[in-house]
Amino acid sequence: MKDNNAASNALISVQSLKKSFGDKDVLTDISVDVNKGDVVCVIGPSGSGKSTFLRCLNRLEEPTGGHIFFEGVDICDPKVDIDMHRRKMGMVFQQFNLFPHMTIMKNLTVAPIKLLSLSQEEAESYARELLSKVGLLDRAGDYPMQLSGGQQQRIAIVRALCMKPDVMLFDEPTSALDPEMVGEVLSVMKDLAHEKMTMVVVTHEMGFAREVANRIMFMDEGRFIEEAAPEEFFVSPKNERTRLFLSKVL
Ligand SMILES: Nc1ncnc2c1ncn2[C@@H]1O[C@H](COP(=O)(O)OP(=O)(O)OP(=O)(O)O)[C@@H](O)[C@H]1O
Ligand SMILES: [Mg+2]
């Protein structure tokens, strides 16, 4: 959490963010910076506002108040071209949302060709490079339904990376997977973190959070009530509600 003054050098600077749906206040007053290279894990009870927070970061949800500076630009300003900024923020959801009628290669290259003006060869060559990193180069010609859930989610991560984002936002990327497929997706995310990708990850995977994050933020009832480095967070949480939550999930 941070002081609430002007733009900072953070990659993402959230200032007094509020979000309500009708008369229901979901995010009450959030101010937080995400710095380049941060791996922030957001944890907290169901319904506390984690997804809403994440989706506000690239304005998939419209904030009802406050400001979000991304790379120094207030993306809540109605005058900004949000699509242009959103391209730099990769997003991966619980459901992979691959295009079912397109091959994996087509899934990976359609946006970069259209939006980054890459040639087909350039886009395919970059896609192959990333596919080989996640061990799925041989599946380039397949259709999504020919892949397992874990493989599809690795493709969804690659698809986001093909846009060369400056930050990756993950909303419970392993929650819809069979348990035996969780590890392969977390391992791709771990590699990304080691490559210094800036990441904001909503997750229930406490082991991952503890091992990979440099910051844990605990959300309860629409605000972050505790933030700490993983060791401190898991070993000596300060807030009573954090302790209660951890006692249930650990
Ligand atoms: N489009 C919407 N319209 C109305 N209420 C909504 C909408 N989206 C979310 N909410 C409400 O906002 C609150 C926070 O939801 P959110 O999905 O952000 O929680 P969460 O922390 O991600 O929960 P979970 O761990 O179950 O995914 C909930 O009470 C939810 O019902
Ligand atoms: Mg959620």
Residue 151 DSSP code? H
Instruction: Give yes or no for a contact between 113 and 162, defined as CB atoms under 8 angstroms apart.
Output: no
d(CA 40, CA 185): 17
- Cα→Cα distances 239→217, 219, 242, Å: 12, 11, 5
Q: How far is the CA of 230 from the centre of ligand 1 (A)?
A: 25
What are the pLDDT digits (tens) for 5-62? 455 679 999 999 999 999 999 999 999 999 999 999 999 999 999 999 999 999 999 9
Question: Which residue type does 46 have?
Answer: S
Beta 65-70 vs 12-21: how paired, if at all? antiparallel
Percentage with pLDDT > 70 across the chain:
97
Instruction: Please tell me the predicted confidence (pLDDT) of residue 2.
Output: 45
Residue nearest to atom 3 of ligand 1 (CA): 21
What are the pLDDT digits (tens) for 163-221? 999 999 999 999 999 999 999 999 999 999 999 999 999 999 999 999 999 999 999 99
138 pLDDT tier (thresholds 50, 70, 90): very high
**Positive or negative CA dihedral for 111, 35, 53, 85?**
negative
91 pLDDT tier (thresholds 50, 70, 90): very high
Instruction: Give yes or no for a contact between 206 and 128, defined as CB atoms under 8 angstroms apart.
Output: no
Q: How far is the CA of 46 from the centre of ligand 1 (A)?
A: 8
Instruction: Please tell me the predicted confidence (pLDDT) of residue 5.
Output: 47
250 pLDDT tier (thresholds 50, 70, 90): confident
Mean per-residue pLDDT over the chain, rounded: 96
- Cα→Cα distances 243→226, 235, 238, Å: 11, 10, 7
Alpha-carbon dihedral of residues 73, 220, 180, 167, nearest 10 degrees? 10
Atom of ligand 1 nearest to the CA of 55: 18
Note the pTM of the prediction, 2 decimals.
0.96
Residue identified by tokens 């242009």 is: 84
**Closest CA relative to residue 86, chosen from 166, 192, 31, 32:** 166
3-state SS assignment for residue 66: strand
Pocket of ligand 1 (CB under 6 A): 21, 24, 26, 46-52
| pLDDT higher than threshold 70 for residue 147 | yes
Q: How far is the CA of 172 from the centre of ligand 2 (A)?
A: 7
Alpha-carbon dihedral of residues 226, 166, 156, 82, nearest 10 degrees? 90
3-state SS assignment for residue 234: helix
Atom of ligand 1 nearest to the CA of 49: 18
Residue nearest to atom 8 of ligand 1 (CA): 52
d(CA 221, CA 209): 21
Instruction: Please tell me the predicted confidence (pLDDT) of residue 7.
Output: 54
Instruction: Give yes or no for a contact between 39 and 215, defined as CB atoms under 8 angstroms apart.
Output: yes
Instruction: Please tell me the predicted confidence (pLDDT) of residue 109.
Output: 98
3-state SS assignment for residue 131: helix
Residue identified by tokens 């401190």 is: 232
Average pLDDT over residues 78-95: 97
